Chains A and B, each alone.
Chain A
């Protein structure tokens, strides 16, 4: 599906989207400032809380900060890439999706990657800088831990892709759902803290049934040397299965598109 021609088209979409964002610089800076404030306030709270009390899950303030930063790294990267998903419903409701389907470009790529968000790129640079500084100063990960982290980071992006494809598919089938992508966001927000904090049943649910735990907690644990090999392998298997299922679901959901209002 992804070849050089498609990559060039995606690059063109990205350049267009970035130019659009830069055409209104005051708004760009307002949103960037707000996002920095939002992330910083919660980060400071988590760090303060776990530096002053002894939680049952046994994580230190620095470790909690690492979990939170890696959560934001994965969340912001997927938002940067898949911002177009947030604009999908009006396309289906208006029948404008016809124009996407009739073009010689894979429609799934268009609705997933058709409008990356420059604002998230600014935020991503800040998060990566903080992550490099904190892990270099306090965590000192080995080469193995770093490599597994990158592997699981890509694995998390695969899962994020799958979740966004499910949202798109459900969006086609049930036109009236506005909040679906936001439900996904709130569900992922649950694991701003590691899944270890939840009860056994909820932890199982968030790790193996709706694998947001694999998506956010596992890469952070891997970087800090807290994840065993069997769980690394299991997480790769689960994300492969979920991604395959999402492609199947996308093809299934397209049958329900009725081109209404077009």
Chain B
């Protein structure tokens, strides 16, 4: 455990090395939220309710997207693991007494912490600038389930993206292909641009079988009070099952991948 704490501490410090890059990355996140905010702002200036959301709920949703995305989807592992497998640098980790995926999970958490801190500041500034009326759930149990769903979301995101990047074991020259497809689906079907209940009920039911809606949409839907407590628990159970399912597949694929790993270039 101590070695992972050291990795966490070093990674956190490392995040400050390229400060300009980090600040520009945060600016990009804010720009993305602005488009969604003004789109919904226009809709709610002439509609009291749209797709079952009040303006207050929708603006809370948009603001929470910035926070949850920073927490769930900040993952330097996505940019590095494929290259390390493809370039043979994985060797350096295989001979060390450290779990490779645990190492990257720890580094991701360091990045998440920093991104979360910045997202908090950005949200505060945006709120003072835009002054939208926002509404969250007032139920403490629901708030707790929402926070647990955020935790689940970050773990599901890690497992699914690592599964996609495992393709590098078999196609080291093409580390980004499948990952790009997954990220494109996540961009829209996770609920980062619009809440998924805008879509029809059959599409929503189908999405329940995929990992995407558990990443952004459901954590936020619970936090803004769109779901009942029993429904929130049901979604939490499903997200735990999703995590277990994809973790088992990742374990299997990673084991097969390591057997196939040729350490090319390493």
Give A contacts to B, CB under 8 Å. Answer: 24, 26-27, 30-31, 33-35, 37-38, 41-42, 45, 48-49, 52-57, 174, 176-180, 182-183, 186-187, 189-190, 192-193, 197-199, 202
Contact = CB atoms under 8 A, between A and B. Distances in A.
Contacts of B194: 45, 49
B46 A30 contact: no
B100 interface: no
A33 B45 contact: no
Contacts, number: 97
Given A49-B198, A186-B28, A189-B31, A42 B193 contact: yes
Contacts of B34: 190
A52 B21 CA distance: 40
What is the interface of chain B mostly: helix, strand, loop, or mixed?
Answer: helix
Interface in B36-56: 38-39, 41-43, 45-47, 50-51
B209 interface: no
Nearest to A48: B198
Interface residues of B, number: 34
B46 A54 contact: yes
B234 interface: no
Given A31-B180, A54-B46, A197 B41 contact: yes
B252 interface: no
Contacts of B189: 41
Contacts of A197: 38-39, 41-42
Contacts of B47: 53-55
11 contacts: A27-B177, A34-B181, A42-B188, A49-B50, A49-B194, A180-B24, A183-B27, A186-B27, A189-B31, A189-B35, A202-B38
Contacts of A31: 177, 180
Contact of A176 (B21, B25, B177, B181): B21
Contacts of A183: 24, 27-28, 31
A172 to B, nearest CB: 15
Contacts of A180: 24
A198 B32 CA distance: 14
A56 B28 contact: no
B35 A179 contact: no
What is the interface of chain A mostly: helix, strand, loop, or mixed?
Answer: helix
Q: Most chain-B Cβ atoms within 10 A of its Cβ — which of A37, A54, A55?
A: A55
Contact of B43 (A35, A55, A178): A55
B20 A177 contact: yes
A173 to B, nearest CB: 12
A38 B42 contact: no
B174 interface: yes
Query: Which 7 A/B pairs are nearest by Cβ-Cβ distance?
Result: A179-B24, A41-B188, A56-B45, A186-B31, A34-B184, A186-B28, A56-B46
Given A55-B42, A178-B21, A187-B31, A27 B187 contact: no
Nearest to B41: A197
Contacts of B31: 183, 186-187, 189-190
B185 interface: yes
Interface string B176-210: 01101100110111000110001000000000000
Contact of A30 (B18, B38, B178, B185): B178
Contacts of B18: 176, 178
Contact of A38 (B43, B50, B178, B187): B187
A174 B20 contact: yes
Contacts of B188: 37-38, 41-42, 45
A88 to B, nearest CB: 16
A30 B28 CA distance: 26
Given A177-B20, A189-B31, A49 B43 contact: yes
Contacts of B42: 55-57, 197
Nearest to B27: A183
Nearest to A30: B177
Contacts of A24: 174
A198 B193 contact: no
B265 to A, nearest CB: 18
B184 A37 contact: yes
Nearest to B181: A34
A34 B24 contact: no
A197 B25 CA distance: 25
Interface in B82-99: none
B32 A189 contact: yes
B24 A177 contact: yes
Given A34-B184, A177-B21, A27 B174 contact: yes
B3 to A, nearest CB: 30
Contacts of B45: 55-56
Given A41-B189, A177-B20, A183-B31, 17 more contacts: A27-B174, A30-B177, A34-B184, A37-B181, A37-B185, A42-B188, A42-B193, A45-B188, A45-B194, A49-B50, A52-B50, A55-B42, A55-B43, A55-B45, A55-B47, A193-B38, A197-B39
